[in-house]
Amino acid sequence: MPKISNPDNSNLTAPVLAGPILAGVVGVPVDHSLSPLIHTIWAHRAGVNGYYIPLAVPPYYDDFAKAMDSLRVIGFKGVNVTLPHKEHALRYAATASPDATKAGAANMLTFGEDGPHADNSDIEGFANAVMGALGERAAPRSALILGAGGAARGIVLALKKTGVVDLKITNRTREKAERLGAAFGMTTLDWSARSDAVASVDIVVNTTSLGMSGQPPLEIDLSSLHKNTMVADIVYTPLETPLLKAAQERGALTINGLDMLMHQAVPGFNAWFDDQAHVNKALRDELVAELKKRG
Ligand code: ATR
């Protein structure tokens, strides 16, 4: 369990009297999560007395609800929620943000006086990762989304937030892409059309599990990719997927899963610990070192 403490903090009286701040990440499996490390790093920097704990909860709603009830009784400020509990979190909440409602899933629960509040910072996280990578460049207006599974919905909502108006989606199982396409006003393309489609968009996003360690690579021909097109991958093991590597070789700006992960953690830390979460190179370097250590 990562310990977050700051014995040198001159302002220790109030936190000691109040007890440490408690938060965590709920999922199963959850031991691979980098969230405890991210929050620990930020807490050390901010001099916060608190703990952010990985919490494995069985994959059923009843177990999830019991676990959340207990965390509230013992004074947890809130939790991040990962697979397979993101829909459970929304169901459990008394209130929900527009993003969580639109996504039909939440990755954040905050335990306030008015009951548990659900939010979806995956959406804001991806939108901020895109905006952060852009620098002086114009925001993307058109996008190609590869995959129509659990992660695709949040990515679509995030792209809309960044100003994307023309969305194309493609998936191996076409019906799933059509369902999502109809829900969000996207054009559905055949999976076999994915390589040709990269030529006409400002950003390409892989939301499939292809390219992840232990999975086959995403087969796509990037020869028609424009050098100003961004390419994003939700995967962070490995950090540089074959897709991102091929995109970088063509001079494209890339966003990896770690960029998204760091940005999605910001709202939780700011809500529960202290308003001082920053995504920067120092944080990235520590996370990359941890991933290398894990192999
Ligand atoms: P869900 O959230 O629905 O459980 P997921 O596992 O998050 O699904 O989604 C995985 C995504 O990767 C899906 O878009 C899946 O395509 P299908 O809907 O056709 O299953 C995609 N995917 C996984 N393996 C794939 C492969 N070998 N080729 C192409 N797409 C693949």
Statement: residue 129 has pLDDT above 80:
yes
Q: Which atom of ligand 1 is nearest to the CA of 176?
A: 18
> Is the entire prediction scored with pTM above 0.75?
yes
Statement: residue 5 has pLDDT above 80:
no
Q: Confirm whether 86 is a catalytic residue.
A: yes
pLDDT digits (tens, 9 = 90+) for 7-42: 443 333 334 446 899 999 999 999 999 999 999 999
pLDDT at site 18: 66
Statement: residue 3 has pLDDT above 50:
no
User: How far away, in angstroms, is 290 Cα from ligand 1 center?
Assistant: 28
- The domain spans of the chain are 21-119+260-294, 123-255
pLDDT at site 222: 97
State which fold the 21-119+260-294 domain adopts: Rossmann fold (3.40.50)
pLDDT at site 92: 98
What tokens does 98 get?
A: 């527009």
User: What average pLDDT does range 288-292 have in this prediction?
Assistant: 95
Which residues form ligand 1's pocket by a CB distance below 6 Å? 147-151, 171-173, 176, 208-210, 216
| Mean of pLDDT over the chain | 93
CATH of domain 123-255: 3.40.50.720
Query: Rounded CA gap, 245 and 110, in Å?
Result: 38
User: How far away, in angstroms, is 126 Cα from ligand 1 center?
Assistant: 20
pLDDT digits (tens, 9 = 90+) for 94-128: 999 999 999 999 999 999 999 999 999 999 999 99
Pocket test for ligand 1, best of 209, 212, 220, 243 (most atoms within 8 A of CB): 209
